[in-house]
Structure 1
Amino acid sequence: MATVRWGVLGATSHIAGRVLPAVARVPGCVVAAVAARTGRVEAATEVARRFGARVHDGYEALLADPGVDAVYVALPNSGHVPWTLRALGAGKHVLVEKPMAMSEEDCARIGRAAAGLVVMEAYMYRFHPQQARAAALLASGEIGELRVVRAAFAHPTPVEGNIRFDPALGGGATWDVGCYAFDVPLWAFGAEPRRVWARFHGDVVDLGAVAALDFGDGRSAVLDYGLEYGPRAWYEFQGTRGSVSVRNAWTTPHEDGVITVVTLDGAREEVVPAADAYELQVAAFVEAIRTGEEPLVPLAHSARTARVGRALVEANAAGGWVELPRP
């Protein structure tokens, strides 16, 4: 495939300002089509004009477009599973905003529908060079054996008209910023926890939470996340000999990453040059299409994240620890 032609479902300001420019900068990629909800093409028309793309009145029309190879699903959380399935059914590769799904069963449905197509959950921070550096430091053994992961992800969010606060659309902090918080310990430990505990606050949806994940053998994660405070996008690995902390996991394309390493031998800061995580994510996704290799965020990881998110919801409702099934 010489050129990957992209279509986007959901022309939000964030997608128009961050994601689509990144797509357009990746060699061999073009923004070919933009779709809005049926009867609401005005916003999509303006976005499409910036990229010389076609406009479709309705998502189904975009999926029927033979000039689209890959689809970015940027809809409310409740639309991720149905429209990912429809896009795969139309023969399109799919990059879908997190959470890909809010249950393990839906991840399995997506896996069965993929049938040789590439589908990936869009955890853009995982593609930034500072993320690779933090992972390399952890793997090097410099801080000893990993014991505790701490992660905090939050930003104050306007309520009026915001889909994040609509329970019918899968709103709430856990399936928004919380996904990032509990994604960190899952890849850092390379496993899912044995049990989880969580306390949410908020009436209509969860506005924030504190949570703990028990991985067994003295390994734990401590999290906080929310839509009422911030900005905060920090994580830390605490080992038996020291720690690695990432100041801002959501760096902008023009912001250097800063990693602090503290060991028994002293402390230092490492600066990771600025990079566009969205652009790197698109490039990696396209490479997976061209090579057939498993993407950095495979479906198995997405299913694991969905299991943990669901367990946190259950733990809050139960008022105590919730055990996860052992493999």
Structure 2
Amino acid sequence: MSKLRWGVLSTAQIGRTQVIPAIQRSNNGEVVAIASRNQQKADETAIELGIPKTYDSYDSLLDDPNIDAVYIPLPNAMHKEWMIQAANKKKHVLCEKPVAITNSELDEMLTACKKNNVVFMEAFMYQFHPQHQKVKQLIKEGVIGDVAFMRASFSFYLEDRSNIRLSNELGGGAMFDVGCYTLHAIRNILGQEPSSVYASANYHPKLKVDMTMTGTLNFDNGIVTSFDTSFDSVSRESYEVVGSKGSITVTSAFRPDTNEDMAGEIIVSKDDGTTEVVKEAGDQYTLMAEDFADAVLNNQPLTYDLTAMQNQMKVLDAVYESSKKGEVVKL
């Protein structure tokens, strides 16, 4: 098998505009089928993106023996059901974030994954962009001294109040949608897990989903971090790492692919008053697809493995628990 043969469950926008084209740009994957409960949508998307086969149900696609792996961009509350269904059909699974609604859901998914010996990964694509490795390198080299603080933000104003992102039943909310990136980035860049979480949120009185959430992750080595996310604020997607001798700011932390040449900007400010701007380019969606396919085709370890997924879900669980109880949650 020279290329991984992908099927896609649903015609969701993230798949149509980002992930499917990224797989098609990859050197080790091809999209061979797409399924939708609306046959017309499946057919239109297939024509638009050059996908050879369509199905009018997810089950039919999973029954196709010529599909090796599936990408699942369904609503959050549907991830568990269809990941388990796919695993039981021996399909490897790349699933959109958040991979589950709760840590207990993830446990069920991991059980199915291990039982069926399939590769399973959560689609946190941002981490594959080379700008983050550059940040880690700068921190390791002591460019900003000892790290004391980190903050991460990801927000946008959601005008359409009927959007699926605001459906409590389908796992909506700002933290599930984009805020989870901030938690991931803090843990990813610092390379460690928090010991406690505190979060505060504004929940929509009728929709019962978080519209804005902010909070802190504290670490045993004394590093303090903060995160914020919102559907009610202007677009923001950045993080800053502050040390004893300077700071590093990443201005397009999560969607540098929207910039010219898919380049991220890293601003290094030092205590001597100097500032350096570093550019790092990379196709994060394609790099993610290639990493996953390499794991399946060549039995290579995933860059983002099952343990890392579990750790992310534990923190996300704790953040929601803290926001509802109004108290610190220890991990």
TM range (shorter): over 0.9
Shift of 1:128: 0.9
Query: Which of the residues 250, 256, 259 maps onto 1:251?
Result: 256
Map of 1:111 onto structure 2: 110
The runs of 5 or more residues in structure 2 that have no matched partner are none
Any conservation in 2 of the 1:164–1:171 contact (CA below 8 Å)? yes
Matched, 1:290 2:291: no
Map of 1:272 onto structure 2: 280
Map of 2:77 onto structure 1: 78
Helix, strand or coil at the partner of 1:72: strand
| Amino acid of the structure 2 residue aligned with 1:42 | Q
Distance in 2 of aligned mates of 1:30 and 1:76 = 24
Superposed counterparts of 1:2-13, under 5 Å: 2-13=2-13
Helix, strand or coil at the partner of 1:252: helix
Map of 1:260 onto structure 2: 267
Helix, strand or coil at the partner of 2:256: coil
Shift of 1:192: 2.1
Distance in 1 of aligned mates of 2:244 and 2:82 = 45
Any conservation in 2 of the 1:243–1:263 contact (CA below 8 Å)? yes
Any conservation in 1 of the 2:132–2:189 contact (CA below 8 Å)? no
Any conservation in 2 of the 1:102–1:309 contact (CA below 8 Å)? no
Helix, strand or coil at the partner of 1:2: coil
Cα offsets for 1:180-202 (capped at 9, x unmatched): 01111112232221111111113
Q: Percent identity?
A: 33
The runs of 5 or more residues in structure 1 that have no matched partner are none
Superposed counterparts of 1:1-327, under 5 Å: 1-37=1-37, 40-49=38-47, 50-115=49-114, 116-203=117-204, 204=207, 205-249=209-253, 250-252=255-257, 254=260, 255-265=262-272, 266-273=274-281, 275-324=282-331
Helix, strand or coil at the partner of 1:174: helix
Any conservation in 1 of the 2:4–2:297 contact (CA below 8 Å)? no
Moved over 6 A (4+): none
Shift of 1:294: 2.2
| Amino acid of the structure 1 residue aligned with 2:257 | T
Cα offsets for 1:112-169 (capped at 9, x unmatched): 2223321111011101121221222222222222221100001112334311100000
| Amino acid of the structure 1 residue aligned with 2:295 | A
Helix, strand or coil at the partner of 2:150: strand
Cα offsets for 1:243-300 (capped at 9, x unmatched): 1110001112534211011223432111123x32111111111111123222111111
Helix, strand or coil at the partner of 1:269: strand
Distance in 1 of aligned mates of 2:295 and 2:93 = 11
Distance in 2 of aligned mates of 1:146 and 1:53 = 51
Moved more, 153-162 or 205-214: 153-162
Helix, strand or coil at the partner of 1:212: strand
Cα offsets for 1:81-115 (capped at 9, x unmatched): 11111111111111110011232222222222223
Aligned residues, how many? 321
Using the size of structure 1 for normalisation, the TM-score is: 0.94
Distance in 2 of aligned mates of 1:9 and 1:157 = 25
Moved more, 138-147 or 234-243: 138-147
Helix, strand or coil at the partner of 2:175: coil
Using the size of structure 2 for normalisation, the TM-score is: 0.92
Helix, strand or coil at the partner of 1:207: strand
| Amino acid of the structure 1 residue aligned with 2:216 | A
